[in-house]
Structure 1
Amino acid sequence: MSEFNQPGPVDEAVISLLSDFLATRRQEAAVLDERLLVLHAELESAIRAPGKRLRPLLACWGHQAAGATVGRGILQAAAALELLHTFALIQDDVIDQAPTRRGRPASHVRLAGAAQSGRRDRFGESAAILLGDLALIWSGQLLVESGFPPERLQAGLRVYHELCAEVTLGQYLDIVVSHTDRLTEDDALRVNRYKTACYTVQRPIQLGMALAGAPASLLDTVPGFAVPAGIAFQLRDDQLGAFGDSELTGKPSGQDLLERKPTWLWARTLRLRPDAARLETVSELRAAALESGAAAAAEAEISRLEAEALAALRAMPVAPEAESELEQLTERLIRRNS
């Protein structure tokens, strides 16, 4: 599937495109007021932080799987997805009051230092919300200016707008279930579907296909693969959040358990060990997840979902080479340790 079957080339191209785009935006901001430059510096720093760049990679895969060639247009659309993801991460960190992201202080923490006086109580959060807004606005601009013919661009924008709505609604569901007294595995899976599976896997692939001019019949085959693959990806993320090496994951290990994040792992732990709700330390919470069998059940669910996703992939009407490369990527992401 050409040189874009691995993260490196796509990653480098996307970061280069975003850097050029933000350089132009920085020049425009400097004319307005030099104090705005701190926002541009933080956004560029955020996009350069280490990450999997999965959405751009899957958009490029979808484009090629639909028979198109990866060029400037789809790479710019992929860059739009990465900028959209930066918006989502900034927003998520403000909501969760997360201190770090991708091995660095979260944007609201870094921006707090830009306050011009000692009154920093909400400055960082307020600035981060606005920075996220900019990232969202500029993501749309990048896609609109990607150079595709009007008909293909309109098809791509329909997918993009569905993606934006789903991740926002999924985030709200995440907040709702975070504040429920009776978290269930079904609650967690519903959040995973819209906040992760659709947003991370299904819509990026469909965006790449739509921009290639693919028929609706091809786009309709994507959810069979994307939903189970995306949920498995999130369940792996939850396992790493609970038991992973913070040096590899870039976030405090066990913090999700301490904060009672509404993950499938935590929901299963609560069902098997209701007393876990009263535990206070990471070691106690990890022990509850392990000894109750919840962690092993999560691994079994990941394996089941992976098999379902790969079976659906093999039924998709794409070239054998494309199928093989997405299968390899899927296994690498689901079996990762960071």
Structure 2
Amino acid sequence: MLGPRPTVAGPAEGDDATLTAPWATSAVETVLEQVLDARLRQSRGIDAVYAADLAERVAAFVLRGGKRLRTAFAWCGWRAAGGSGDATAVLRTGAALELLQGCALIHDDVMDASPLRRGGPALHVELAGRHPAGPAESFGTTGAVSAESFGTTGAVSAESFGTPGAVSAESFGTPGAVSAESFGISSAVLAGDLALAWADDLLTETALGSPQGARLHHEWRAMRTEMVAGQYRDLHAQASGASGDEEALTIAALKSARYTVARPLALGAALAGADPRTTEALRAAGHCAGLAFQLRDDLLGAFGDPALTGKPAEDDLRSRKLTPLLAAAVRLARASGDREACDVLAPGGHTRPEHTVERMRAALERTGARAEVEARTAELAAAALRHFEATGAGPDVRREFAALVERAAGVAPRPAEELV
């Protein structure tokens, strides 16, 4: 049975000049708090242990930081398509997107064995510390499970490609056989599933209350499937040692660009009843801005400061994750005959040590891959603005979109003729 729609604090309806993307990213926090409070009350009524150990951690994770870019892009899509007045539906859609992002991050950290997220332990690391036998008994050491000691970030083995953290047939049924690491991984899979279920519930409730509900749900379903396809292609590329530009861009588009920018724009536009021309212009703008976002994220993964990004540096290099940055470096190294770069960037079966990571980073610079990706990021950001202009959105909305692209891509694409 569907519950009542929460009331949005603040000016959910009023002068459009006061309803901006920054306002939306602030207001969505209130919506998330209201939605999660209701879900937690429901969870406590189901089971106290599940609620305390899992549901409360999922809620805290979703509320802990995040740029809320997907909410902001959904807002821009809504405004570009003529959306105005009552903003409740678009804010609830934004909240659903943030819950979906929580699912994606939790599962991504499990698959990448990443110990940190948003400036703290990744959820599977935190949950490992909740092992009923206690972390000391599970790991044979004293003290809690640390982010540094948890798991190993590295190439995808045949075993982990199929069943990371699974309980072996030999140990199944043996009391205490599930280690803290396995417990944390398995619990985190459930936590991600829970975030996805909450996201789906919220989006469905919003669609049922909207005259554009069918269009909204169509975009949502497509986005969920694209995310899974992109994540699998990412795993497959790591396991196969792929290096091609085309495959790297396919993964970037499916795994990140569409669900970060393109689909949120389309979700907002659907709520406003956008015409086909506006929708296609937003899709094109979202594709370019989303790829620019992912290219910047790849650069931060190789050269960023964890104190600023809130996640580990070098993980992508240690595991030789296929990104457009790596693919460009391999291509340029081969073209220039840089054998050292070819060797250090070649597929390998093990996690790369620190000195190899430093050599990989040097190869990204020396081959010109970093410069190429930085230039491509700026080109894509500028192209996103050109496509967005084709929506016919007013200058205020275009300026907001430009500011969001700058935040996402780390560049300032501001052609004067597009922002007047």
Shorter-normalised TM range: over 0.9
Q: Is the 8 A contact 2:293 2:408 kept in 1?
A: yes
**Separation in 2, partners of 1:154, 1:297:** 41
1:275 maps to which of 335, 343, 346:
343
Say whether 1:205 aligns with 2:265: yes
Q: Return the match for 1:235 from 295, 304, 308.
A: 295
Match of 1:101 in 2: 117
Give 1:154's match in structure 2, choosing from 214, 227, 231. 214
Contact 1:209 1:219 in 2 (8 A): yes
> Does the aligned pair in 1 maintain the 2:115–2:312 contact within 8 Å?
no
Name the amino acid aligned to 1:40.
A
The letter for the 2-side match of 1:293 is G
Query: 5 Å matches for 1:139-178?
Result: 139-146=199-206, 149-178=209-238
Out of 29, 35, 40, the residue aligned to residue 21 of structure 1 is 35
Deviation at 1:149, TM superposition (A): 4.5
Is 1:49 matched up with 2:64?
yes
* Alignment map for 1:251-270 (pairs within 5 Å): 251-270=311-330
Structure 1 segments unaligned to the other structure (5+ residues): none
Name the residue aligned to 1:12: 26
Residues 259-314 of structure 1, C-alpha deviations (whole Å, 9 max, x = no match)? 21111111122231312236742322211111111111111211222222222222
Deviation at 1:167, TM superposition (A): 0.9
CA-atom RMSD, angstroms? 2.0
| Mapping of residues 76-155 of structure 1, within 5 Å | 76-117=92-133, 118=138, 119-146=179-206, 149-155=209-215
1:286 corresponds in structure 2 to: 361
Give the secondary structure class of the aligned counterpart of 1:98.
coil
Give me the TM-score of the superposition, normalised by structure 1.
0.93
- Residue type of the partner of 2:280? D
Where does residue 63 of structure 1 map in the other structure? 78
- Distance in 2, Cα, partners of 1:326 & 1:12: 17
Aligned counterpart in structure 2 of residue 32 of structure 1, from 43, 46, 51: 46
What is the TM-score with the length of structure 2 in the denominator?
Answer: 0.76
Partner of 1:309: 384
| Greater C-alpha radius of gyration | 2
Note closer, same or farther for the CA distance 1:82–1:214 as it changes in structure 2 (3 Å cut). same
Cα 1:169–1:182, aligned 2, differ >3 Å: closer, same or farther?
closer
Are residues 150 and 333 of structure 1, via their aligned partners in 2, closer, same or farther at CA, if it must alter by over 3 Å? closer
Offset of 1:135 from its aligned partner?
0.9
| CA–CA distance in structure 2, aligned partners of residues 108 and 67 of structure 1 | 42
Does the CA contact (< 8 Å) of 2:72 and 2:404 recur in 1?
A: no
Letter in 1 for 2:214: Q
Q: For residues 198-229 of structure 1, what are the alpha-carbon distances to aligned partners after superposition, in whole Å with 9 as ceiling and x for unaligned?
A: 11111101101101122233212222211111
**Do the aligned partners of residues 152 and 242 (structure 1) sit closer, same or farther apart at CA in structure 2, a change above 3 Å counting?**
same
The 8 Å contact of residues 76 and 143 in structure 1, kept in 2 or not, is answered as yes
Q: Which amino acid aligns with 1:206?
A: A
Distance 2:242 2:265 in 1: 34
**Contact preservation (8 Å) 1:193, 1:230:** yes
Q: Secondary structure at the match of 1:115?
A: coil
Question: Which amino acid in the other structure matches residue 132 of structure 2?
Answer: Q
- Letter matched to residue 221 of structure 1: A
Farther-moved stretch of structure 1 (322-331 vs 103-112): 322-331
Instruction: Determine what percentage of the aligned residue pairs are the same residue.
Output: 38
- The worse-fitting range, judged by mean Cα deviation, of 90-99 and 143-152 is 143-152
- Between Structure 1 and Structure 2, how many residues are aligned? 336
Question: Mean alpha-carbon deviation: is it higher for 232-241 or for 38-47?
Answer: 38-47
Summarize the Cα distance change of 1:292–1:126 in structure 2 as closer, same or farther, 3 Å threshold. same
Measured in 2, the distance between the counterparts of 1:106 and 1:179 equals: 23
The structural deviation recorded for 1:44 is 1.7
Contact preservation (8 Å) 2:107, 2:192: yes
How far is 1:4 from its partner? Answer: 4.4
Give the Cα separation in 2 of the matches to 1:186 and 1:10. 36
Helix, strand or coil: the match of 2:240? coil
> Aligned partners of 2:405 and 2:318: how far apart in 1?
29
| SS of corresponding position for 1:122 | helix
1:187 aligns to 2:247 (yes or no): yes
